[in-house]
């Protein structure tokens, strides 16, 4: 479905660290932080072991706790919700917008209660949310904002990059992301106290000046190793090229898919720069998505349903047996979205083959019950 683009420079960067013998708690992680902060335009960046750990540390640093409510979309990856559950915070699920699949500002504001402490915003598939409205709602109700921008490195809303919004933001560097460190993540913020707490929490709760066996608070081992950081530095130098390459692949897909029946290409609003993470189409009502996936697989083309609603996952239903959420757009979109093969260097001939297989699968699927 997707793959990282690695160069000889990436490999040499990792080998240089291995040759140095300094594999952890060294200069590369600090350099990677400095370069990410400069690229995003924030005062601080804190490297961690994954996007999930980045989100978890932010939840802890904002001091959300048992009994608090945080508004979050259900149409997202599980981490967006799990990091709240780790701290006993109650997720309140919010519906999404029907065109870009991001959290819906109208539904968001309608679900604020006296227990609401914050909003977990997700820039889904690399498309920024409607930040103008989200920031306005948060200001009116005095809510904290976490930006789960794990899928959106390089995206922009107006003239601002994702990562500049909210109290703190998280990025992820898994191999299917815009850049990779293998595993890894980054917290970015302009808040000095959040950054200070994040550095402590990722490092077993140690203070900045404390001894190795002195711990100021309960923390985690969420550090990023030096090999991963070196790979991240090397990859970051080509980020703009990667984003451009992904845009070209997405445009090629869209040009072809616009001519097909029974399917809609992704929407990109005019006031944003989308940093393409995946290429997700929406099937028309009445098309059997499982049949499409099976037909494409028979032609050697992998595809995947994307996403399944989090509020219907078994572990959520077990925790909240009395929970009910009216999320009509989420339910509709989750039944109809389909991710196609997507990566930086997908060739025109490969795109043609995927789209041809999709067209055949759409026609065949109409014959299924």
105-151 pLDDT per residue, tens: 999 999 999 999 999 999 999 999 999 999 999 999 999 999 999 99
pLDDT tops 90 at residue 293: yes
Average pLDDT over residues 258-284: 97
Structure pTM? 0.96
**Measuring CA to CA, how many Å separate 327 from each of 50, 74, 83, 92, 211?**
29, 8, 21, 11, 50
Q: Is the pLDDT of residue 10 over 90?
A: yes
Q: What pLDDT digit, counting tens, does each position of 201-247 carry?
A: 999 999 887 778 889 999 999 999 999 999 999 999 999 999 999 99
pLDDT at 299: 95
Which residue did the predictor score with more confidence, 143 or 1?
143
Nearest CA to 272 out of 159, 106, 132, 163 is that of 159
Q: Kindly tell me if the per-residue pLDDT of 191 is higher than 70.
A: yes
Q: Does position 369 have pLDDT exceeding 80, yes or no?
A: no
pLDDT in tens, 314-366: 999 999 876 667 899 999 999 999 999 999 999 999 999 999 999 999 998 86
The pLDDT tens digits of the residues spanning 139-177 come to: 999 999 999 999 999 999 999 999 999 999 999 999 999
Closest CA to 16 of 175, 182, 181, 226: 226
CA 317 vs. chain centroid, Å, equals 23
Lowest-confidence pick of 194-198, 200-204, 209-213, 261-265: 209-213
36-66 tens-digit pLDDT: 999 999 999 999 999 999 999 999 999 998 9
DSSP notation for 221-271: B-PPPHHHHHHHHHHHTTHHHHHHHHHHHHHHHHHHHTT-SSEEPPP--TT
Instruction: Identify the CA nearest to 143 among candidates 176, 103, 181.
Output: 103
CA distance readout (Å), 66 to 33, 81, 84, 158: 31, 14, 9, 36
Q: What pLDDT, on the 0 to 100 scale, is given for residue 323?
A: 66
Which pLDDT belongs to residue 265? 98
Is residue 126 a contact partner of residue 277, using CB atoms and an 8 Å limit?
A: yes
Stretch 281-287: mean pLDDT: 95
Higher-confidence position of 184 and 2: 184
């Amino acid at each position: 479905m997707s793959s990282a683009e690695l160069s000889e420079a990436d490999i040499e960067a990792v080998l240089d660290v291995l040759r140095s013998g300094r594999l952890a708690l060294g200069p590369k992680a600090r350099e990677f932080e400095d370069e990410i902060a400069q690229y995003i335009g924030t005062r601080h960046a804190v490297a961690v072991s994954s996007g999930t750990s980045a989100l978890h540390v932010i939840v802890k640093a904002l001091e959300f706790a048992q009994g608090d409510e945080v508004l979050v979309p259900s149409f997202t990856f599980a981490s967006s919700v799990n990091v709240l559950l780790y701290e006993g915070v109650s997720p309140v699920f919010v519906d999404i917008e029907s065109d870009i699949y991001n959290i819906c500002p109208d539904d968001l504001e309608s679900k604020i209660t006296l227990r609401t402490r914050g909003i977990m915003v997700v820039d889904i598939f690399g498309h920024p949310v409607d930040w103008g409205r989200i920031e306005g709602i948060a200001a009116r109700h005095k809510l904290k904002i976490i930006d789960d921008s794990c899928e959106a490195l390089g995206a922009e809303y107006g003239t601002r990059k994702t990562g500049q919004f909210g109290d703190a933001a998280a990025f992820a560097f898994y191999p299917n992301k815009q850049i990779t460190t293998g595993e890894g993540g980054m917290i970015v913020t302009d808040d000095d106290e959040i950054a200070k707490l994040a550095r402590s929490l990722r490092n077993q709760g140690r203070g900045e000046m404390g001894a190795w066996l002195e711990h100021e608070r309960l923390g985690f081992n969420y550090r990023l190793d030096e090999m991963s950081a070196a790979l991240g530095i090397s990859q970051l130098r080509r980020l703009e090229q990667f984003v451009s390459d992904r845009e070209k692949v997405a445009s090629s897909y869209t040009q072809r898919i616009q001519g097909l029946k029974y399917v809609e290409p992704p929407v990109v609003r005019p006031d944003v720069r989308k940093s393409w993470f995946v290429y997700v189409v929406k099937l028309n009502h009445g098309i059997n998505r499982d049949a499409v996936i099976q037909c494409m697989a028979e032609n050697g083309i992998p595809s995947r349903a994307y996403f399944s609603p989090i509020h219907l996952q078994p572990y959520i239903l077990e925790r909240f047996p009395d929970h009910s959420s009216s999320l009509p757009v989420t339910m509709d979109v989750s039944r109809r979205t389909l991710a196609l093969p997507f990566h930086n260097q997908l060739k025109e001939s490969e795109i043609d083959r995927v789209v041809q297989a999709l067209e055949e699968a759409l026609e065949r699927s109409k014959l299924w019950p």
